[in-house]
Amino acid sequence: MSQKRVWLFREGNATMRNLLGGKGANLAEMTNAGLPVPPGLTITTETCMEYIDNGNKMPDGLMDDVKTALTDVENQIGKKFGDASNPLLLSVRSGARLSMPGMMETVLNLGLNDETIKGVLELTGNDRFAYDSYRRFLTMFGSVVLEIDRDKFEKILDEIKEEEGVILDTEVSVEGFKKSIELYKELIKKETGKEFPQNPMEQLQAAIEAVFGSWNIPRAIAYRNHYKINHRYGTAVNVQTMVFGNMGNDSATGVSFTRNPSTGENKFYGEYLTNAQGEDVVAGIRTPKPIQELANEMPALYNQYVEIAQKLERHYKDIQDMEFTIEKGKLYILQTRNGKRTAQAALKIAIDLESEGIINKEKALMLVDPAQLYQLLLPSFDEESKKTGILLSTGLNASPGAAVGKIVFDPTEAAERGQAGEKVILVRVETCPDDIHGMISAQGVLTARGGNTSHAAVVARGMGKPCVAGCETLKVDLEREILTTPDGKQFKKDEIISIDGSTGEVFAGAITTVEPKMGADFDKLLSWADDVKKLLVRANADTPADVEKAVELGAKGVGLCRTEHMFMDPERLPVVQEMIISGTKEARKEALAKLLPMQYQDFKDMFKALKGLPMTIRLLDPPLHEFLPNKEELIEKVATGKAKGEDVSEDAKMLEIVEELSEVNPMMGLRGCRLGLTYPEINEMQVRAIFEAACDLKKEGFEVKPEVMIPLIGHVNELKAARDVLEEVAQKVMEEKCVQVDYQFGTMIEIPRAALTADKVAEYAEFFSFGTNDLTQMTFGYSRDDAEGKFLNNYVEQKILPANPFQTLDQEGVGQLMEIALEKGLKVRPNLKRGICGEHGGDPESVKFCHKIGLNYVSCSPFRVPVARLAAAQAVIEEKE
Amino acid sequence: MSQKRVWLFREGNATMRNLLGGKGANLAEMTNAGLPVPPGLTITTETCMEYIDNGNKMPDGLMDDVKTALTDVENQIGKKFGDASNPLLLSVRSGARLSMPGMMETVLNLGLNDETIKGVLELTGNDRFAYDSYRRFLTMFGSVVLEIDRDKFEKILDEIKEEEGVILDTEVSVEGFKKSIELYKELIKKETGKEFPQNPMEQLQAAIEAVFGSWNIPRAIAYRNHYKINHRYGTAVNVQTMVFGNMGNDSATGVSFTRNPSTGENKFYGEYLTNAQGEDVVAGIRTPKPIQELANEMPALYNQYVEIAQKLERHYKDIQDMEFTIEKGKLYILQTRNGKRTAQAALKIAIDLESEGIINKEKALMLVDPAQLYQLLLPSFDEESKKTGILLSTGLNASPGAAVGKIVFDPTEAAERGQAGEKVILVRVETCPDDIHGMISAQGVLTARGGNTSHAAVVARGMGKPCVAGCETLKVDLEREILTTPDGKQFKKDEIISIDGSTGEVFAGAITTVEPKMGADFDKLLSWADDVKKLLVRANADTPADVEKAVELGAKGVGLCRTEHMFMDPERLPVVQEMIISGTKEARKEALAKLLPMQYQDFKDMFKALKGLPMTIRLLDPPLHEFLPNKEELIEKVATGKAKGEDVSEDAKMLEIVEELSEVNPMMGLRGCRLGLTYPEINEMQVRAIFEAACDLKKEGFEVKPEVMIPLIGHVNELKAARDVLEEVAQKVMEEKCVQVDYQFGTMIEIPRAALTADKVAEYAEFFSFGTNDLTQMTFGYSRDDAEGKFLNNYVEQKILPANPFQTLDQEGVGQLMEIALEKGLKVRPNLKRGICGEHGGDPESVKFCHKIGLNYVSCSPFRVPVARLAAAQAVIEEKE
């Protein structure tokens, strides 16, 4: 235990957090960094426990130590505690080792009494300020230190306001404040049986005791229990000089940034007010002046401030957001912190700081938020323009980006008008494969139903097309072609709307869009990231165009090629439907034979675009009924037709097939490898297409690296059975083509059982790719299609869940399964290749987790590749630290 | 390594499995148990490895040892190997340490050649038998030992059959067999370049070498790899005398049981034929005689046989199923094994063997298959009557038991006629809550759609009512009231059918039913079980009647009371629907207030029936739309009405609500605790009803032990949030009632994430109840409603899965999660109560696993309680062994 109970700020430093608390240690660090921090002292955390163990009694000699330190503070600041002409006022704050926000309120302006207020009046010449300060102090001291119900103070002020006929506190007259002060003092006497302590030192001791005592109030104990904070840590007490920017024209207050937080430009940026309090700058009653004007008004102080700012930026190695006050010609820094900035600014600042020699490349990489980086790749709405827009509703932010266009309800119309160059937004209740041509030609897609894995969402993300899905408060009447908002506004076809796929917002009219900004800084930062990171970054890509984009953005291969997206091409869909409808294996094979050359060409083009990088191709995954018309629409059609006496035999036949294939819980039904094991001919065709394409390209001199991925394995026997058949096809094709290609067979780990039995699975899998979308669904038992709208958002709001597990990987549960799978898999196959291809592969936090548990690569949508590259580099740097 | 390579049967015993192989050790054991086993010898497994290590060469001196042993065998049997007048014929079989079925075929009748066949002809006087035997030997020797393609032998016989104009082998003439023998010899010469070896000793050596060599053929290596059998084990070779029951009237062959396998009666049971081969007894060409007649025909031999049988029963401590042959007045036992028996017989035999002092109680408990016990509790179809019935189709065996009745399609009609005493079977496409009254009054339920967790299946099992569900090959036309079978037969209303809920079979007409047989033996066996077992057995019960049945069958409490089943009562359903339809919290509360007294009475009656035993009550679990009309039917109705210009506003309104509540994957949607956290007032009402009932009963002097179970927890915060609110309700009710009851709060573990984070969950749960139905669904990613029909049955047939995981717990995957949950849960809460309430709680294998991993109880449907009690006892006994 430390002998020294009271520390002046200049005696401590940032490493003394345990003894001085977080706040005290930082104040000490700032002081020693040469900042003109208003002076003060810190009473140690150990003293708090001494006080408590002592039966809530102040240790002998503590107040003597405080007085001694206070004298030092008085000398530094040139004021005296309790002095009627030049009074020192203090703030008293708690400050534990770990932040415990809301545990104890602050007491400001301590030291005010009927005498010292005179000094304040004289020094500021501002009656209103002086009496308001006194009134506030009495309220804080009364409620926080003397534990009088705060409402009682409020009630007194309310009565005065009523008398004066005003509503706001700021409208109360000086006389009113004076009256309140007297009434507050009476209240204190009535409630405590004692007079309000006029003696400043008595005030101080009471405030210190109140902070110590607050360590053990029920809400603080509960808080520590919840966050598992040791009850023996105790809290420190910080006693600091108050300074005032409203003490005349040689006083001022302001805020500033060391660089421009919007553009990143290396130019001092900020504003200030002369003879004002900090609140005035923010309140907007007076218009603040640009910080540069201070150079004319108070040149010496300005130069001092700039110098400090530069020093701070060098000290903290980042753009600083500072608050300052000038009291009677003396500059004080009240706060400095790393400044918030836009994506563009973050990039420029990081690059500039490095080239200025202030930080190294690793630090530069840490200065850019990977999630922000993504914004640089997408068109977005101008924030100002958004503010003036009329928000109609908010749905799911299913596929990011901004789009403006005329409402079109019919997909064919959208396709035709879109191809003709018109900007349209396709608006549907929900989309199905038949609508794809309309989606392709539209600027964006808006649906009233469906979650983040609905058809619209998945396809739009695949296309990089903005999409707002499941906007359930909007009514879409396809028949009458009317969109109705929750408040009854109606929008007809051809009216213009704007949708923000990054936020889920839907606006009336046209919002101005801003085009993406990339450039040399962007490339430089990512090349630094590549030098540092260990994880490879691949992309999820289903078309040659996707692949090209991915490679351009730095992907080192395709981690997930979803073959079903190829099936959804409007030209192919009829053939796919033919295949599904045909009841016999022979008929199925016939239809598949038509699909073979199409898939062959797809794979060939993609392999070519990859220039020798590997491609993981997932065999057909979704339930077959996804390729057929909507069941409910068919039921309606058939019933209507029947009632009208029309011939509905064709629709009725299709309905029968759709019903036969329909499932209660399709997500857990006949899909993935189950499909392939039930209809092996489908996968056989796909593997033939892959290997024919690979062999032919190899003969043309290209390098190809196919990795065939069998999805939805739960039991090793599924993988074994599927692989046995498909290896045979692969071998046969290579024999036919007389060429060998490098290939691998592997599986998704997306069923909890596969993770739990990964030692078995790894015997037949050369690679594992964690399909964390499905794995999250099964581990939580959440249907993504249903959960988000029905209860998941509510869960996140209520803090039942820390985050939406479909966006940020649930490390505790899903992550645990991944670790189990890796441990078991690597035991059996030490060179097992291991990656992730769920959407978490593009989420920075999840990417870092993937690095931590030792994956070889992450795979994400092409536009997320830069995000993942940066996050992967940060993971390495964070690990070092 | 053993020096002795060749062992006579009488020199070995059952413990020498590693050296003599499984078969050799058993033959030795039988011989030494005093059984007149046809004599023979075994060549050790080590010799096999010696042969292989030697480059596939016979060790020096081995054949000399074989010859020496064979002389002993010749002396025992009184025949000579290769002798033309009284030839010894041999069988040569492989026999590894662990059974490797199908690895090597048997060679029978070895020793036959052109000379020795004369002896067989003379001794049997049966040309046909002799030449057929020779022909078969040539085929086996040629294909197995000389590795000639078996098809070539078949082809020769086919040509002869064609010439003779016959189809079956048994129709071939003696001349035909003779001809085949010559052609086979030519084939052998052509294929091997050598004559068929007439020398018996040469035949024997070749056969032994073939068995040794077979250890390393590819399929055997693959088999060992798959089952992880050591490649150095080797196989033994068993060389045994052939005996013949068709050598005259002093020869015979037969099969018998030591007791009656149908009734269990302690009376020798069996049949035989004089001068016949074993096949003849089975083939049914001659009518066999009851075994008792042998006492007249060959009294000494009969007595010897009976004596042996009794000895064997005592030796193996179980009913024996034996095969014997008498060759020229000498009795041989060819095989003895524990006899298969009916449920009734199993029970009687176990009790009798114990009272006869042959076995102790533990052994008696092991003699009854728990699964069979279940049959004793249910009416069933008479097996004979079933054979004469016309099978129409087979669906899912959704709820066991047998039912006969008239077809009725309308549930209301079924209810009325059933109540009037008529026996009806309710036939529906699928059932919904509106149909319950019809189900209650029907003998059984047949549906064309739905899986083992469909409404019909779940409700029928709850009622103990036979149900065949998802009989998809049957077409149910509700409108025309016609049931059509796959082959086009039509059944109208009032025609009689029989359904077997234990097998899924549907028959035309009335099959005779057999009433359940229980009695003193049943009670005695289960009381023994209770003395031994450690697991408690509870029941899943939703009504007072269920509870009474469960207690009668020995349940020690209710492990799962599904409150939603109470909601489905036809009188309550309208109130439940009112609650769901009401859009506001207030309106919901109003409807809930009506449900409160109903639930209160339910709980009160059930607590009363339990007489102080605990009851675990699960709060509302299923998605709300399960309580509403079928969406698709509504769509059809509305569309039809609209097209006809009718007023459909009411149905349209209901459709809107149903659509709003409908989910893509309801199994993973808004249900379980998610429902309670979204609409807390539902659970609050339920908890109030539980505690009001418990308090009132306690005041009346009854003991009550409510355990409130919050379902579908995935994250501890869900449990915490739900429990906080509900504890408050419980406390409030107890304050209101001025009485305290013993209670607990706990949770289902049915979401993988809950198992993985069980340490967190256990902080707020006093008990865990494994909901293995859902846990299996999520761990495998199988929707039970879809999987069974669509691919799961196929998986089990193809052996991709060892068993249907919804019937038998998947110990490797789901069981692993249970073990993880227990380990983590007990670490935090050592006195955590832990049970299982999935349907696996009534599956014997799963019950044993539950014992092994240390659960406190299993809970299953009332009729499964005896099954679980017995299985739990067997688990303890097996553990000891």
pLDDT at B764: 96
Between helix B573-581 and helix B649-661 the angle, nearest 10°, is 80
Q: Which residue of A has its CA nearest to B451?
A: A664
- Cβ distance A674 to B631 less than 8 Å, yes or no, reads no
pLDDT of the residue at A374: 80
Neighbours of A477 (CB within 10 A): 12
The dihedral formed by the CA atoms of A654, A655, A656 and A657, expressed in degrees to the nearest 10: 50
3-state secondary structure A817-856: HHHHHHHHHHHHCCCCEEEECCHHHHCHHHHHHHHHCCCC
Q: What is the CA radius of gyration of chain A?
A: 34
Task: Return the DSSP state at B600.
Answer: H
Q: Per-residue pLDDT tens for B562-574?
A: 988 788 777 888 8
Helix (H) or strand (E) holding A740, with range, is none
SS3 B179: helix
Write down the pLDDT at residue A868.
97
Residues of B in contact with A816 (CB under 8 A): 756-757
Quote the tokens at residue A502.
């990054």
The tokens describing A678, both together, are 């039930």
Size of interface A-B (CB pairs under 8 A): 213
Q: What global pTM score does this model have? A: 0.79
d(CA B141, CA A303): 109
Interface check for B222 against chain A (CB to CB < 8 A): the answer is no
**Shortest CB distance from A669 goes to which of B663, B666, B786?**
B786
Contact (CB<8Å) B786/A751: no
DSSP B314-362: HHHTS-EEEEEEEETTEEEEEEEEEPP--HHHHHHHHHHHHHTTSS-HH
Contacts 24+ apart (CB under 8 A), A823-829: A823/A758, A824/A757, A824/A758, A824/A759, A824/A762, A825/A758, A825/A759, A825/A761, A825/A762, A825/A765, A825/A768, A826/A762, A827/A759, A828/A759, A828/A762, A828/A763, A829/A762, A829/A763, A829/A765, A829/A766
Residue A283: partners with Cβ closer than 8 Å, 6 or more residues away = none
Query: Which residues, other chains included, contact A808 with Cβ-Cβ below 8 Å and sequence gap of 6+?
Result: A840, A843, A845, A846
- For testing contact with chain A, the best of B454, B674, B759, B816 (most A CBs within 10 A): B674
Q: Which two tokens stand for residue B509?
A: 């007409």
Q: Please state, in angstroms and rounded to a whole number, the distance separating the CA atoms of residues A623 and B791.
A: 12
High-pLDDT (> 70) share of chain B, %: 97
Q: How far apart are CA B263 and CA B346, in angstroms?
A: 8
Helix (H, G, I), strand (E, B) or coil at A218: helix
User: Using one digit for the tens of pLDDT, what is the confidence trace for B312-348?
Assistant: 899 889 999 888 999 989 999 988 888 888 788 899 9
610-669 in chain B: CB under 8 A from chain A: 631-632, 635-644, 663-669
Residue A788 CA: distances (Å) to CA of A397, A470, A532, A812: 11, 10, 36, 20
CA nearest to A774 within chain B: B781
Q: Is the ipTM beyond the 0.90 threshold?
A: no
Q: What one-letter code names the amino acid at A644? A: K
d(CA A423, CA A420): 9
**pLDDT tens digit sequence for B487-525:** 889 999 999 999 998 889 999 999 998 877 678 999 999
What average pLDDT is seen over chain B? 91
* CA A214 – CA A226 distance, rounded (Å): 17
B814 touches chain A (CB under 8 A): yes
Whose tokens are 């299609």? That residue is A785
Parts of chain A with a pLDDT under 70: 1-2, 101-105, 226, 279-285, 433, 452-453, 458, 461-464, 517
Which structure tokens are listed for A656?
């029968």
Say yes or no to pLDDT of B462 above 70: no
Condensed to tens digits (0 to 9), the pLDDT of residues B621-638 reads 999 888 888 899 999 999
**Within 13 Å, how many C-alpha atoms sit on residue A653's CB side?**
6
User: Which stretch of DSSP H or E encloses residue A505?
Assistant: strand A505-508
Q: Which of B304, B302, B341 lies closest to B319, judged by CA? A: B341
* CB nearest A794 (choices: B678, B795, B813): B678
Q: Can you give the pLDDT at residue A592?
A: 94
Which candidate, B726, B714, B731, B637, places its Cα nearest to that of B672? Answer: B714
The CA distance from A800 to the nearest CA of chain B, in Å, is: 5
Strand spans (E) along A232-385: 235-241, 252-257, 269-274, 289-290, 320-327, 330-338, 380-381
Residue type, B447: T
User: Both tokens of residue A10?
Assistant: 């200049």
Using a CB-CB cut-off of 8 Å, the residues of chain A touching B778 are 752, 778-779, 781
Of A434 and B118, the structure prediction assigns the larger pLDDT to B118
Catalytically active residues of A, by annotation: 455, 837
CA distance A647 to chain B (A): 14
> pLDDT-based confidence at B68, cuts 50/70/90?
very high
List the one residue out of B262, B137, B287 whose CA is nearest residue B197: B137
Beta-sheet strands, E only, within A589-631: 614-618
| Residues in A touching B712 (Cβ below 8 Å) | 781
CB of B588 within 8 A of CB of B582?
Answer: yes
Judge whether A816 and B752 are in contact, CB under 8 Å. Answer: no
Please state, in angstroms and rounded to a whole number, the distance separating the CA atoms of residues A323 and A246.
15
Name the DSSP letter for residue A553.
T
**For residues B326 and B246, is the Cβ–Cβ distance under 8 A?**
no
Q: How many CB atoms lie within 10 A of CB B235?
A: 27
Q: Find how far residue B156's CA is from the centre of its chain.
A: 43
Is the pLDDT reported for residue B108 higher than 80? yes
Handedness of CA B461, B463, B465, B467 (dihedral sign): negative
Q: Which residues of B are catalytic?
A: 455, 837
Is B226 part of the contact surface with chain A (CB cutoff 8 Å)? no
Sign of the C-alpha dihedral computed for residues A327, A331, A337 and A343 taken in this order: positive
Q: What does each C-alpha distance from A669 to A217, A277, A662, B663, B817 come to in angstroms? A: 54, 66, 9, 15, 22
pLDDT at B73 over 90: yes
Higher pLDDT, B876 or B629: B876
Chain A residues within 8 A of B805 when measuring between CB atoms:
none
CB contact under 8 A, B790 and A674: yes
- Within 10 A of B819 (CB to CB), how many other CB atoms are there? 16
* Contact list, A668 vs chain B (CB under 8 Å): 665, 667-668, 777, 781-783, 786-787
Q: How many CA atoms lie within 13 Å of B647's alpha carbon, on the beta-carbon side? A: 1
User: Is A595 in contact with A577 (CB distance < 8 Å)?
Assistant: no
Say whether B639 and A635 touch across the interface (CB within 8 A): yes
What pLDDT score was predicted for residue A263? 81
Chosen for mutation from A753, A777, A812 (greatest number of chain B CBs closer than 10 Å) is: A753
Q: What six digits make up the tokens of A780?
A: 């939580």
Cα first-last separation, chain B: 30
User: Which two three-digit tokens encode residue A131?
Assistant: 């009496």
